Structure 1
Amino acid sequence: MESVVLQYHEFSCIPISYWDDDEIVEKLTMHMKDVDMWLFSGQIPYGFAKKWAGISQPMFYVPSSGSSLYKTLLHISYNQKIPFDQISFDTFHPSELERVFLESEIASRPLYLKHYEEEIHTDEVVRYHYELWKSGKTMAAVTCLKNAQHELNRLGVPAFRVLPAQSAVVSTLALIRQTHETLHFKETQIAVQMIEFDSFSSLTKDTFSTDEIYKIEIKMTEKLLEYTKKINGSLKSAGPGRYVIFTTHGILREMTKDFTMVPDYAILQLKGHDAVTCGIGIGQTAYEAEINAGNALLHSKEFGKGSTMVVFDDKTIVGPLGQHEQIKYGFASEHLQLLSEQTSLSVATLSKLESILRKTGKTEINAHDLAQHMRIMPRSARRILTELESKGLAQVIGEDNPHPRGRPRKIYQIILKQDTK
């Protein structure tokens, strides 16, 4: 892979090797600030990196291609004389492996295959091949993993590795180049911040007057002009207490640390209840970005004063920024629209719920946890869950009682994926 990458001068390569799966995250962490894109040699390191979710840069891996497998099978057949039905394989998709056998006019079909979609420990792959060989079912193993091949050979198993094909590496590099060009275009997209603050929050009974409100507005405008200059933007007023700032995607992405943190409002010198509520919109045009910023502001208000949400050009919604529990959801999918029609819940509420379940990796939740994730009152969360239960989209599967003297909390299993036809 490295030899192929070095043929392309637009790429600068940093080789990273590992021998144990547990080293992967540590190795990646060491180079987080040194790379623009990640290219993995296969699905296992890619899967571990994806599960870790600590990488913000785009990730790619070189797929195992048929051409390399043909070469390996030819070597085994010609030099080793091992029957194909006595070989174990890993990584390949069953349909792909069967296609290779069919095109090669191999009479038998692949009997032993360890296929995986996400991350898997190399030890599990080694154990799969070794147990088959030890029991006499196979005479050799074909693996896509360098570490697995070394370990199998150490155990006495004849193991042959399918190397990444040069054509597959070249194709992946082309995809990386295209992604880089797309990201560069996105950096120059229009970004709009729609900021809203409550002029009345700074007033007292003694200072309550239109003149005082006007003074507060002037001071805030002056501060916002400083902030706008800091982000190379353009400021315009959109009514009492509301301002719109035009800038670029790249500048806001950097300021918010890839849309995970609240923009640095230190220059505004805000205190207590003065915290602004903000919506950030990204778009191909200023009009689209401003519309998205308005929608983002509405979603921010749902999460409470001082919240910041983002709506991207693909209508993905992310936030609240700066919160430990951030969620990501979309406006509308067909199945959520159907569920919304069946219930009294909006598509946005259902989409948030779906995002929370995806983030937690569970289908079970209680009203307290739902309220924490969505930043709503527990009674509102209970209403959502009871509404889903009444329509057959949730069912009570148990209770928990973290406080012995308190009321037990019902645990609901959510069934949003059911057939809605």
Structure 2
Amino acid sequence: MVKKIRLGLFGAEDSLEIMQSVIVQFPEFSCISISYWQDDEIIEKLTANMDDVDMWLFSGQIPYGYAKKWSGISQPMFYVPSSGSSLYRTLLHIAYQQKIPFSQLSFDTFNPAELERIFLESEIDFKPGFLKHYEEEIPTDEVVQYHYDLWKEGKTQAAVTCLKNAQHALIALGVPAFRVLPAQSAIISTLALIRQTDETLHFKESQIAVQMIEFDSFSSLTKDTFSTDEIHKVEIKMTEKLLEYTKKINGSLKSAGPGRYMIFTTRGPLQEITKEFTVTPDQTVLQLTGENTVTCGIGIGQTAYEAEINAGIALLHAKDYDKGSWMVVFDDKTITGPLGQPEQIIYGIAPEKLQALSQQTSLSVVTLSKLESILRKIGKMEISAHDLASYMKIMPRSARRILTELEAKGLAQVVAEETLHPRGRPRKIYQIML
């Protein structure tokens, strides 16, 4: 029996009914429908149903935008775009039954170019003048206020909205409001994209993954027990523990020298046990105690050779951090880690832009890539040596050296100073210009 894609439908109730009427034609999907009314219900309802779905399909951009900004969902998310066919029906009703000229309408949600194209294809000589376009999340009240202000000022006679609760709010304010519902063609196109994504995920889960694990054979020994026999016993015990762990991830264990092991498996089990490569497995899962802390590199690849090379690179990066760190190198050469740390960052191995910058400075491509990723993570281009050291897990003096090197080469400048203690030396804040 083919496993069905568990699809979570999320949106206004009438939109969900339309989506369900289309999806019922596709037996590869099983659905649960979750309706909402107010924006502040979105996250709560998503949280309550996360374990029951493989992918999410939103009826529009607003709930999708809130879910994306929240970033609490690991499953792939999609929304049904507002298309021309869904708008045509609404425009015909307005023109022929309500007799309202298009120049007296305000719109929301649609992309400006898309809206112009719709009128052009309909051979309507009109360029929409009032449009509230948004890329991601936006409070519904803001959309309502936009339409209401135009109507109150006499610039429009009616509003065309894609939001059910906005339509109800506008009608309550006395504004004629017409709803654009999802079109069947747009729903079918989105379902095709979901199917394609599901196939890609299955392919990714079957990619080869290699774990390269390293531990210190001497850490649990004392002066009284220090001998080659005792070291051998420690390694036998570690091998037994790792064999149990290897079974859990459907892999095979191979010794790679004293204190180092390799586990060959596929991406899916590792992805599951690390919760999408964000945490390290629980110590009980690894069958380890605190004194057996291991450093680990995970490599993903299209071949066993590629995965093994990436695992070695990941282990080297893990060893740059604290003992017990885990890093991952993916097949596209991006690196993420340390797993389980709040400072976890994602960076590339050797982007061309950073290769050029590395040649201008004494800094490596990896260091520059980490810095770029940290700035992207914190959402600004300003950082102090103290904060950089915290994110990179390096000494403050090393972070200062990085920043002063960038400053010397014109890639950073001091833009402010902060004093945390009256007698302390002020910390310089650098603006980075990579």
User: TM-score of the superposition, structure 2-length normalised?
Assistant: 0.91
Q: State yes or no: 1:415 paired with 2:426.
A: no
Q: Aligned to 1:192, what secondary structure does the other structure show?
A: strand
Contact kept, 8 Å, 1:91 with 1:144, in 2: the verdict is yes
220, 240, 248: which one aligns with 2:266 = 248
Question: How far 1:388 moved relative to its partner?
Answer: 2.0
> Where does residue 16 of structure 1 map in the other structure?
34
Deviations 1:45-80 (A, max 9, x none): 111111111000000011111121222222222222
Return the offset for 1:368: 1.2
Q: Aligned AA for 1:371?
A: A
For structure 1, which segment, 105-114 or 22-31, has the greater mean C-alpha deviation from structure 2 after superposition? 105-114
Q: 1:193 touches 1:244 (CA, 8 Å); kept in 2? A: yes
Name 1:406's counterpart in structure 2: 424
Whether the 8 Å contact between 1:193 and 1:280 is mirrored in structure 2 is yes
In 2, the alpha carbon distance for the partners of 1:17 and 1:342 equals 55
In the aligned structure 1, how far is the partner of 2:100 from the partner of 2:297? 64
Q: What is the distance in 2 between the residues matched to 1:143 and 1:294?
A: 54
Which shifted more, 238-247 or 210-219?
A: 210-219
Q: Which residue of 1 aligns with 2:172?
A: 154
Moved more, 100-109 or 135-144: 100-109
What's 1:217 paired with?
Answer: 235
Letter paired with 2:290: K
> Which of 85, 110, 113 matches 1:92?
110
Task: Report the 3-state secondary structure (helix = DSSP H, G, I; strand = E; otherwise coil) of the residue aligned with 1:202.
Answer: coil
Write the letter of the residue equivalent to 1:32: M
The 1-side partners of 2:358 and 2:133 are apart by 37
- Matched AA of 1:377: M
Of 206-215 and 407-416, the range deviating more from structure 2: 206-215
1:262-296 per-residue CA deviation (whole Å, 9 max, x = no partner) reads 12343543334x41100011122211111111111
Query: Do residues 134 (structure 1) and 122 (structure 2) align?
Result: no
Q: What is the total number of aligned residue pairs between the two structures?
A: 415
CA distance in 2, matches of 1:393, 1:100: 46
1:14 aligns to what SS in structure 2?
A: strand
For 1:124, the aligned partner's letter is E
Alpha carbons of structure 1 residues 134 and 404: separation in structure 2 relative to 1, 3 Å: same
Q: Unpaired segments of 5 or more residues in structure 2?
A: 1-18
CA distance in 2, matches of 1:302, 1:359: 20
Q: Which runs of 4+ in 1 moved over 6 A?
A: none
The normalised TM-score by structure 1 is: 0.94
The equivalent position to 1:69 in structure 2, one of 82, 87, 91, is 87
Letter in 2 for 1:135: E
CA RMSD of aligned residues (A): 1.7
Q: Is the 8 A contact 1:227 1:265 kept in 2?
A: no
Q: Which residue of 2 aligns with 1:4?
A: 22
Please, which moves more after superposition, 169-178 or 378-387? Answer: 378-387
Instruction: State whether residues 235 and 243 of structure 1, in contact with CA within 8 Å, keep that contact through their aligned partners in structure 2.
Output: yes
Q: How far is the alpha carbon of 1:397 from its aligned partner?
A: 1.7
AA aligned opposite 1:271: G
CA distance in 1 between partners of 2:382 and 2:136 (Å): 23
**Structure 1 unaligned residues grouped into runs of 5+:** 417-421
Q: Which residue of 2 aligns with 1:82?
A: 100
Q: 1:265 to 1:247 in 2, by over 3 A?
A: farther
Partner residue in 1 for 2:401:
383
In 1, distance between residues paired with 2:264 and 2:71? 31
Given residue 11 of structure 1, which amino acid in structure 2 is its aligned partner? F
Q: Aligned residues: percent identity?
A: 79
Task: Compute the displacement of 1:81 (Å).
Answer: 1.9
Distance, in Å, in 2 between the alignment partners of 1:119 and 1:195 is: 42
Distance in 1 (CA, whole Å) between partners of 2:301 and 2:225 is 41
